[in-house]
Amino acid sequence: MASASPLPLRIANEIRELIRSGRLPLGAHLGTQQLADQFGVSRSPIREALQLLADERVLQRQANRGFFVRSSRTAASRAAGGNAGMPERSSAYRQFADDWLDDRIGDEVTEQFLRDRYRLTKAQVTDLLMRAVREGWVERKPGYGWRLLPVAKTPEAFEQIYRFRMLIEPAAMLEPSFRIDRGALAEQRRIQEEMLTSGAAGMPAERVVLNGSLFHEEIIRMAGNPYFLRALEQANRMRRLLEYRAKVDRQRLRSQCTEHLQIVTLLEKGDVIEASYFMRRHLSGALARKSPRVRGAKGQSETRV
């Protein structure tokens, strides 16, 4: 299964939050056009997001009727992002990711190994692996077993990813094929202003990282070159696990959102050259404050998002 693209993934996360908070009750019908209007997007990413949630068994698809929130506590627990009866901080997925990041398991595993190590059912192992596949750090081996893919597990790799981004993201904005998408800019302005206004209070680190990744991927998408976009998506997947378990520095998050909004403003004015320069400066600052090498730790909790 290919990993989800940024916009459907973000919409799926928003729908999970609506279910978790009770604003979408168990058994509720999810209308594609209504959601498209609500999120200000076309129906295509909505359909992708709904299918993603159906694959996770958060939603149920009924023939000729559409998608419904599953009428079970298990579905509500899945929407909350954890296993039933298990707090998020000790979820099997977190343990699996931490074991991989800290080299406590090898780079090839079997489903039976995961069932035994994390005391999971067959269905729970399937859910765990499908989430890891979507987030880009696990793939099925030909024949039997699963392979864990390289991620930013060392300070050197983490810095290399950011230095790579400092090269491709500003450069992509100067490509002759770069076209400003005002609809995408408006959506990113909405997301960043919402985070800035709320201070992202209580927002999980996963969502903070996903929103940040989405911003940069939507900007580079405007270059009209799929190779730029694919390279950035891969780089973001490789750093995502390390940043997921970082502490969110709320004060620094305000600076990040403010800088994102400055880039949006420059592009809305058509000042692409200045926006490109600002993007490089923004990424350079992010590297300086996020680098585990600078923090003096290998992926420890001192790292700040």
| Among 248, 217, 213, 243, residue whose Cα is nearest residue 152 | 243
Weakest-pLDDT range from 108-122, 162-176, 281-295: 281-295
Q: Which are the contacts of 12, defined by CB distance < 8 A and separation ≥ 6?
A: 4, 49, 50, 52, 53
Same domain, 89 and 52: no
Domain boundary among 48, 74, 100: 74
- Whole-angstrom Cα distance, residue 87 to residue 63? 34
Determine the average pLDDT of the residues in 190-197: 86
Write down how long the chain is: 305
Same domain, 253 and 168: yes
Same domain, 123 and 179: no
Domain boundary among 97, 122, 148: 148
pLDDT at residue 4, rounded to an integer: 55
pLDDT above 90 (res 182): yes
Alpha-carbon radius of gyration of the chain: 19
Is residue 20 situated within a structural domain?
A: yes
Of residues 31 and 153, the one with the higher pLDDT is: 31
Residue 247, number of CB atoms within 10 A of its CB: 12
Q: Which are the contacts of 22, defined by CB distance < 8 A and separation ≥ 6?
A: none
Question: CA separation (Å) from 230 to 55, 188, 212, 236, 251?
Answer: 24, 20, 16, 10, 31
- Cβ atoms of residues 139 and 146 within 8 Å: yes
Of residues 43 and 96, the one with the higher pLDDT is: 96
- Whole-angstrom Cα distance, residue 211 to residue 203? 11
Domain around 180: 155-295
pLDDT mean across residues, the chain: 81
Is residue 249 situated within a structural domain?
A: yes
Same domain, 101 and 49: no
Determine the average pLDDT of the residues in 235-242: 80
Q: How is the chain split among helix, strand and coil, in percent rounded to 5? A: 65, 5, 30
Question: Which string of DSSP letters, residue by residue, matches 2-13?
Answer: PPPPHHHHHHHH
Same domain, 163 and 126: no
Same domain, 159 and 268: yes
Q: Report the range out of 60-69, 88-97, 113-122, 209-218 with the highest average pLDDT.
A: 113-122
pLDDT band at 85 (very low <50, low <70, confident <90, very high): very low
Determine the average pLDDT of the residues in 107-117: 95
pLDDT at residue 90, rounded to an integer: 39
Same domain, 175 and 278: yes
pLDDT above 80 (res 102): yes
Domain boundary among 32, 57, 74: 74
pLDDT above 60 (res 87): no
pLDDT at residue 152, rounded to an integer: 74
Residue 43, number of CB atoms within 10 A of its CB: 13
- Cβ atoms of residues 278 and 259 within 8 Å: yes
Of residues 241 and 75, the one with the higher pLDDT is: 241
Number of domains comprising the chain: 3
Is residue 119 situated within a structural domain?
A: yes
Determine the average pLDDT of the residues in 210-215: 87
pLDDT at residue 167, rounded to an integer: 97
Same domain, 138 and 170: no
Residue 257 sits at the vertex; the CA angle it makes with 253 and 261, to the nearest 5 degrees, is 170
Q: Report the range out of 76-90, 128-142, 219-233 with the highest average pLDDT.
A: 219-233
Same domain, 241 and 178: yes
- Whole-angstrom Cα distance, residue 135 to residue 97? 11
pLDDT above 90 (res 169): yes
Is residue 300 situated within a structural domain?
A: no
- 13: domain CATH number? 1.10.10.10
Residue matched to tokens 């930013």: 152
